[in-house]
Structure 1
Amino acid sequence: MSHTFRHPEIVEIARRKGKVTVEGLADHFGVTLQTIRRDLTELAEAGRLDRVHGGAVLPSGTTNIGYEDRRRLNEGSKIDIARTCARHIPDGCALFLNIGTSTEAVATELLHHRDLMVVTNNMNVANILAGNPECQVIVTGGSLRRSDGGLIGSLTTDTIRRFKFDLAVIGCSAMDADGDLLDFDIQEVGVSQTIIAQSRATFLAADHSKFQRSAPARIASLADVDAVFTDRPLPAPLTARCAEWGTQVFVADTAPAETPD
């Protein structure tokens, strides 16, 4: 297979997994490590991937990848994260779920929870939780972002300020090595900051691909959230900082979903 045919598939694998490795691609295509290194160098020079030690990742930038690509990226891991997160969400609480494919996965795991009030600026979350008759669903309103069903803007933040939530579950587009949570849309950042301010406790749901990406706008720090739910251990320096901050870290397991009694 020539590099002309390998390149699109390499980029697609990076979109699905968040990262590609030289050894993994060499095994996948049945070519030498040197050939893959050359492929990755050419893709990096074309701006389609960023080289990292041992492989490559999707390039950082000022715009996010498309919603369908995000939804499929690490889909199984997001389900595992959502199951673990949902076990820490009690029945009978007032909860906020914001924009993101990870929070949508959490919403699916709440379909058997009881006596919930969920406020959301995510139309997809509202549609999912419409299937739980024991969940009151409140949609914030705001300007509709057609690309992913998110609601943003001043109407959204004004609505959020009318509540005090027991718990919020948020996502992010990227996480810096120092624990800063990052996003691409400055309006969404303002909404997320308001959510954190109006919540007694905040959970972050983020798969490992977020550790390998960057985005231009800062939401908050892991120091500002109470727990992070992810699918792989955080880098050791960040794990140590979370311990200092009192931020709990839960690495998702792959146990079957449990239905509350």
Structure 2
Amino acid sequence: MNESTPARRRRALNPRQSDLLAAVRQAGTLRIEDLAQRFGVTLQTVRRDVRQLEQMGLLARYHGGVRTPVSTVENLAYTQRQTLNAQAKAAIAQAVARDVPAGCSLILNIGTTTEAVARALLQHRSLRVITNNLNVAAILSDNPDCEVIITGGVVRPRDRGIVGEASLDFLRQFRVDIALIGISGIETDGTLRDYDVREVRAARTIIEHARQVWLCADASKFGRPAMVEVGHIAELTRVYTDRAPPAPFDAMLRDADVACVVANPAG
């Protein structure tokens, strides 16, 4: 009987590679430096292991790190995204909060990163926040000096995002100072991408009805594929991330005059 391809792949791995694969699958994403420290080997050894695992289709690399392979048609489960890169998201959120002035109007869209931003805004004063994310609304409702406005529409049970035509019609009534948006991936051609067409239509509407657009995206989003186009990196005002964007994104941001704020997860 012929062995299946996955069985042949598992047989080809040495114990360290098997442990490395298990660690990444558990965490979702890990930095190359962290893997080298964890397994007591050189960066070159980790890169060699990762390259072999990538060739087998078991892992995917991004600038400075490695992650489990992603689908272009289906996002990770919401509960998994909540814990994925949580430290980076918290650092990004704090950097955003430092730059959000008191007394401004905001739109926050669907996503775990924008939920982290909402938590970082709990001490802000005189904000007016519009959102199609019930989690964001619940978080910011604890700030007595913040007016929270939620869109109408259909609530998705998996993440409490609000989608549909009613949501779009509601968003079109406003023009806010700043849109704070998350995204699932940024392709190497600079397109901003996500998975759900309804969510993308809401994000597109938000971009079109904001004076400034601030993208909040941890480093794993650079080069990550997804099926539906939201817009282009050149439409942004600022990008908040946890590591300096790799090529070609660094040049794209400079050419489009998009400010890039790099938050340090270590503080």
TM-score, reference length from structure 1 = 0.84
What are structure 1's unaligned runs of at least 5 residues?
257-261
| CA positional deviation for 1:141 | 2.0
| CA positional deviation for 1:28 | 3.1
CA distance in 2, matches of 1:231, 1:55: 12
> 1:186 and 2:229 equivalent?
no
Number of matched residues?
A: 251
- Calculate the aligned-residue CA RMSD, in Å: 2.8
> 1:9 and 2:20 equivalent?
no
Q: Which of 74, 89, 99 does residue 63 from structure 1 map onto?
A: 74
In the alignment, what sits opposite 2:5? none
> 1:222 and 2:236 equivalent?
no
| CA positional deviation for 1:8 | 3.3
CA distance in 1, matches of 2:190, 2:172: 26
In the alignment, what sits opposite 1:108? 119
Q: Which of 180, 186, 189 does residue 169 from structure 1 map onto?
A: 180
CA distance in 2, matches of 1:239, 1:42: 27
| Kept in 2: contact 1:183–1:218 (CA 8 A) | yes
- 3-state secondary structure, aligned to 1:218: strand
| CA positional deviation for 1:4 | 10
CA distance in 1, matches of 2:119, 2:135: 10
In the alignment, what sits opposite 1:138? 149
Tell me the alpha carbon deviations over residues 78-134 of structure 1, each in whole angstroms, 9 at most, x when there is no partner. Answer: 111111111111111111000111111111111111111101011110010011001
In the alignment, what sits opposite 1:259? none
CA distance in 2, matches of 1:51, 1:254: 20
| CA positional deviation for 1:5 | 6.6
What are structure 2's unaligned runs of at least 5 residues?
1-13
CA distance in 1, matches of 2:252, 2:233: 9
CA distance in 2, matches of 1:36, 1:250: 28
In the alignment, what sits opposite 1:204? 215
CA distance in 1, matches of 2:106, 2:37: 45
Higher mean C-alpha displacement, 55-64 vs 221-230: 55-64
In the alignment, what sits opposite 1:235? 246
- 3-state secondary structure, aligned to 2:222: helix
| CA positional deviation for 1:35 | 9.9
| CA positional deviation for 1:34 | 7.4
- 3-state secondary structure, aligned to 2:99: coil
Higher mean C-alpha displacement, 136-145 vs 191-200: 136-145
| Kept in 2: contact 1:19–1:58 (CA 8 A) | no
- Of all paired residues, the percent bearing the same amino acid is 41
Higher mean C-alpha displacement, 175-184 vs 103-112: 175-184
Assess, with a 3 A threshold, how the Cα gap between structure 1 residues 52 and 136 changes in structure 2: closer, same or farther: closer
| CA positional deviation for 1:171 | 0.5
| CA positional deviation for 1:36 | 9.2
